[in-house]
């Protein structure tokens, strides 16, 4: 078991990188604490697999160090790093039985014979593989094979960490939910560091205590699911997390607040001061649809807006409306009056976030 530190880490697949865009991982520092349940979340191509392969030792970073506790492990192989990795597609030995597949990693590290069967049975029990232990792996279906693959990762209790690279992609949707819960249970039981790569926010937030969001080779936020939702540190996090994502308005900063076209929007004084001092031409206001206040009646605090449509999503509704030239969204509660052509909305100051060059400006008391 280990704390995994990435120190000044960067990786490029190019031979002569000339710009930041040439890097699959841009220079970064990060610590994965021992025993954490983490998700690495981001869209296709943002660098998730590259990061995982650098931690496991399948890939050598172009720059920086991978440190397990206080030891630099850059030159160590995955076996020497003691990392278990579970991939998108099952890695099992077809001609072996399920029992032999699960026992294999233990035999590899010369586990005494009397300890092997109890451990294999324990892991098989958790993954509900007990009834197929004697079956040849080639006779299993895709779900069962992937469970065996995961079991092979989980069977050793001496690993530094277990890395999962989209392990539930091939799994039937019904079983996906169950397996995610199992992984969580295993994490609680064995206290092993787990890093789980996914591009699915639901998968990430049901599994992980903390989520690292990657975007264009950068880790743009590392926080709890709640932090990512309430305080997105980067516009990408606001856009990517939540359904629908955050609303954004490109604004100018005036002496009194933010200005969107000819509409003045009051903002937090601390954020206002920072924005005023900035010479950036890229300033945005963000607010989640959940935090847009939709009033039943006209009042001094509210902006009058034109409603485009209201989508019924069962327990709630999403109202799309025009604010100046921008199409924004607000979430309506089940029992809330549904506005017709006109609606009255306001943006509560505590939920209005200012972004300069795509990064969030902290509010004074945070």
Helices (H), the chain: 48-56, 78-81, 98-108, 113-126, 142-154, 173-190, 201-207, 225-230, 235-240, 269-277
Q: Footprint of ligand ATP on residues 157-216 (CB under 6 A)?
A: 199
| CB closer to ligand ATP, 5 vs 12 | 12
| CB closer to ligand ATP, 47 vs 245 | 47
Q: Give the per-residue contact string, 15-54, with ligand ATP (x = CB under 6 A; - = no).
A: ---------x-----------------x-xxxxxxx----
| CB closer to ligand ATP, 199 vs 329 | 199
CB of 283 to ligand ATP, least distance (A): 29
Determine the angle formed by the axes of helices 142-154 and 173-190, rounding to 10 degrees.
Answer: 10
Q: How many residues bind ligand ATP (CB under 6 A)?
A: 11
CA distance 61 to 11: 5
Contact status, residue 174 vs residue 18, Cβ threshold 8 Å: no
Q: Footprint of ligand ATP on residues 113-152 (CB under 6 A)?
A: none
Q: Footprint of ligand ATP on residues 65-104 (CB under 6 A)?
A: none
| CB closer to ligand ATP, 201 vs 268 | 201
| CB closer to ligand ATP, 87 vs 323 | 87
CB of 24 to ligand ATP, least distance (A): 3
Q: Could you identify the residue written with the tokens 């233990």?
A: 106
CA angle 242, 216, 36 (to 5 degrees): 65
CB of 216 to ligand ATP, least distance (A): 9
CB of 163 to ligand ATP, least distance (A): 12
CA distance 213 to 31: 14
CA distance 60 to 38: 22
* DSSP assigned state of 361: P
CB of 54 to ligand ATP, least distance (A): 9
Contact status, residue 358 vs residue 236, Cβ threshold 8 Å: yes
| CB closer to ligand ATP, 144 vs 166 | 166
CB of 62 to ligand ATP, least distance (A): 12
CB of 288 to ligand ATP, least distance (A): 25
CA distance 15 to 72: 24
| CB closer to ligand ATP, 48 vs 284 | 48
Q: Which tokens belong to 16? A: 């002569």
Burial 1-24 (b: 16+ CB within 10 A, else e): bbbbbbeebbbbeeeebeeeeebb
CB of 197 to ligand ATP, least distance (A): 7
| CB closer to ligand ATP, 49 vs 235 | 49
Contact status, residue 194 vs residue 210, Cβ threshold 8 Å: no
Q: Which tokens belong to 230? A: 């309430």
Q: Which residues bind ligand ATP (CB under 6 A)?
A: 13, 24, 42, 44-50, 199
């Amino acid at each position: 078991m280990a704390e995994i530190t990435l120190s000044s880490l960067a990786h490029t697949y190019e031979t002569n990188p000339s710009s930041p865009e040439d890097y699959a991982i841009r220079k970064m520092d990060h610590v994965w604490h021992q025993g954490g349940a983490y998700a690495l979340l981001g869209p296709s191509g943002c660098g998730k697999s590259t990061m995982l392969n650098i931690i496991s030792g399948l890939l050598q970073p172009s720059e920086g160090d991978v440190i397990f506790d206080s030891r630099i492990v850059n030159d160590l192989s995955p076996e020497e790093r003691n990392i278990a990795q579970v991939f998108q597609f099952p890695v099992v030995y077809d001609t072996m039985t399920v029992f032999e597949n699960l026992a294999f990693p233990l035999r590899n590290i010369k586990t005494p014979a009397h300890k092997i069967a109890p451990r294999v049975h324990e892991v098989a029990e958790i993954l509900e593989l007990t009834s197929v232990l004697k079956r040849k792996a080639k006779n299993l279906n895709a779900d069962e094979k992937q469970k065996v693959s995961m079991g092979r990762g989980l069977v050793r209790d001496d690993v530094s960490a277990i890395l999962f690279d989209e392990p539930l992609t091939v799994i039937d949707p019904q079983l996906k939910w169950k397996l995610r819960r199992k992984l969580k249970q295993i994490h609680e039981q064995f206290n092993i560091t787990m890093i789980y790569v996914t591009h699915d926010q639901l998968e990430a937030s049901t599994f992980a205590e903390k989520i690292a969001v990657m975007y264009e080779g950068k880790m743009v936020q590392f926080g709890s699911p709640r932090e990512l939702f309430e305080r997105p540190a980067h516009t990408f996090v606001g856009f990517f997390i939540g359904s629908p994502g955050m609303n954004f308005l490109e604004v100018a900063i005036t002496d009194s607040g933010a200005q969107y076209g000819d509409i003045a929007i009051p903002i937090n004084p601390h954020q206002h001061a920072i924005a005023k001092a900035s010479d950036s031409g890229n300033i945005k206001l963000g607010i989640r649809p959940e935090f847009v206040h939709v009033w039943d009646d006209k009042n001094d605090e509210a902006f009058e807006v034109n409603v485009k449509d209201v989508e019924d999503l069962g327990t709630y509704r999403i109202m799309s409306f025009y604010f100046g030239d921008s199409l924004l969204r607000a979430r309506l509660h089940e029992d809330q009056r549904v506005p017709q052509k006109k609606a009255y909305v306001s943006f509560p100051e505590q939920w209005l976030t200012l972004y300069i060059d795509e990064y969030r400006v902290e509010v004074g008391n945070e």
